[in-house]
Amino acid sequence: MRMIWLLVPAIGITAVGACFLRTPVSSPLSPAAISQPVRPQPAGSTGAFFGINEALSVPSVLVRNRTVSGSQQAAELVEDSRGVAALGATVVRANSHTYPFFNHKQYSNNAVVSQERADRYFSVLSESGLDMVAVIGPWPGIQTGNYTDHYLPDDMDAYAQFVEDIVERYDGDGIDDAPALHPVLAWEIDNEPDLHNRVPPRGAKRDVDPSTFQTPEEYAEVLLVTAAAIRRADPDATILSGGMYNVRASAGADYLETLLSIEGVLDAVDVLALHCYSDDDSLDAIEQTLAVGARLAPGKPIWITETGASSQGKHRWQSEAWQAQMVVGIHAAALIGGAERLFWHTLADPPQRSNTRSMPFSHHSLMATQKSTWEGGGSTSRVKKPSGEAYTRLIGHLAAVPRSDISELPAAGGRLMAAGDSMLAFWGTPELPPGDWVFEDLLTGARIDTPTAPAWISPRNGE
């Protein structure tokens, strides 16, 4: 979920069917060349594993209220893409309530303006070389409650046509494609249905019984219609289930198990998408999440499309250094556990303000925003947090390592991952196999004397 810096007004609007316009709309700004291009990753390497959730975006309230112009929005997206490149990631994920707003409700309101925004987003993707996972669905993700007290679209045919038209425009097959297009890497069908079935939708204007909202059966209906529409436009598309909020909990696991038992659901998706958040001082959350996914969908690839850990919180261990440790630990545990991709939430924490309360996810990011584009007209100024520094160093070491060369090694006193002829200490202070090793602190990049996590360990003769 992208951090919104201002309060979002609730708008009660009933759903109407509207087809996506096929008339090309040129982006109002052709962004400047990105100064830090994303490095291409060798086939089968680990570099493509690293993604960032909702990294390219503009606070949605500013977009809806027309507080910022199209050129200002494009400038912000370009700045975001530079931040992603500076961190070293190669792929971003866009939720259905954030830029480029791939949800039927917002396209129903104004298809022309919605298409302009999407084309602007893809122009930046094309310039930056980043890949994109796009969430698509009937409603604006976590804001569904602002628009409806029921989940299923009123006009399922209009919704299906919307999906087909969106995919056709951004699939890169040369048919009715948007200009300056970098095609979508994968399509994820809606977001966290198990959460919406457990708590009332955020911003709901009416009393909503969550147990009857976005049930597994309702979500399955939307998933099957959406997947079929995607396949009609792009038979070779990669399709993800909606990221499940918390399958570690019995309610989340039961929801997923019921969903996957519905005829056609498992075959309709290529990848199982799961989410995983925890402020525990352990790696239990990511490991248990992957274990549940593997048990309920054996053989199905798993992408962790949202995960994160906060650099501030109620626990004594939560700090910027601890978050950096968790960045390394979570990525290592996910690699060992078989996840194909992982998306950290998110790019940059909002500016700190002493007179406002901290919003959810306001300290989960890899960078900190020192000055926002929206404050006084200045340009965005960001710096890497210790977690961002560790993230970049980790990618630098792992990017070209084949996934087949990654495994966990037995190690007393901590946890150790083999990565080619090098190793990663990702928890504790593990004992090492015999050899002459050099240790790098991934938080600082400095040489250290003992392999205390997070540390990169390489043979001395490889210096």
Which residues make beta-bridge pairs with 349? 368
Question: Would you state the pLDDT for residue 3?
Answer: 38
Question: Would you state the pLDDT for residue 451?
Answer: 96
Strand segments, DSSP code E, in 10-90 are 50-53
92-130, pLDDT tens digit by residue?
A: 999 999 999 999 999 999 999 999 999 999 999 999 999
Average pLDDT over residues 32-61: 68
| HSE of 249, CA atoms in CB hemisphere, 13 A | 13
Top pLDDT among 180 and 248 is at: 248
Task: Indicate the domain borders of the chain.
Answer: 47-402
pLDDT at 184 over 70: yes
Q: Confidence band (pLDDT; 50, 70, 90) for 16?
A: very low
The hierarchical CATH code for the domain 47-402 is 3.20.20.80
Question: Would you state the pLDDT for residue 147?
Answer: 79
229-262, pLDDT tens digit by residue?
A: 999 999 999 999 999 999 999 999 999 999 999 9
Top pLDDT among 327 and 28 is at: 327
pLDDT at 191 over 90: yes
Mean model confidence pLDDT for the chain: 86
Secondary structure (H, E, C), 226-278:
HHHHHHHHCCCCCEECCEECCCCCHHHHHHHHHHHHCCCHHHHCCEEEEEEEC
pLDDT at 84 over 70: yes
pLDDT at 51 over 60: yes
Question: Would you state the pLDDT for residue 23?
Answer: 32
Q: What's the rounded Cα separation, in Å, for the pair 282 and 276?
A: 13
Question: Would you state the pLDDT for residue 66?
Answer: 78
Question: Would you state the pLDDT for residue 44?
Answer: 60
Question: Would you state the pLDDT for residue 310?
Answer: 96
Closest CA to 307 of 291, 323, 320: 323
First vs last Cα of the chain: how many Å apart? 41
Average pLDDT over residues 426-454: 96
pLDDT at 201 over 90: no
Q: What's the rounded Cα separation, in Å, for the pair 340 and 335?
A: 7
Torsion angle (degrees, nearest 10) of CA 34, 36, 41, 45:
-140
Sign of the Cα pseudo-torsion (76, 245, 197, 313, in order): negative
pLDDT at 137 over 60: yes
Average pLDDT over residues 130-151: 88
Average pLDDT over residues 342-362: 76
pLDDT at 357 over 70: no
pLDDT at 14 over 50: no
Strand segments, DSSP code E, in 286-336 are 302-308
Backbone angles phi, psi at 168, to 5 degrees: -60, -40
Percent of the chain residues topping a pLDDT of 70: 84
Q: CB within 8 A of 295, min separation 6: which ones?
A: none
Q: What's the rounded Cα separation, in Å, for the pair 119 and 98?
A: 14
Question: Would you state the pLDDT for residue 28?
Answer: 31
Q: CB within 8 A of 96, min separation 6: which ones?
A: 102, 103, 135, 136, 137, 139, 140, 141, 190, 191
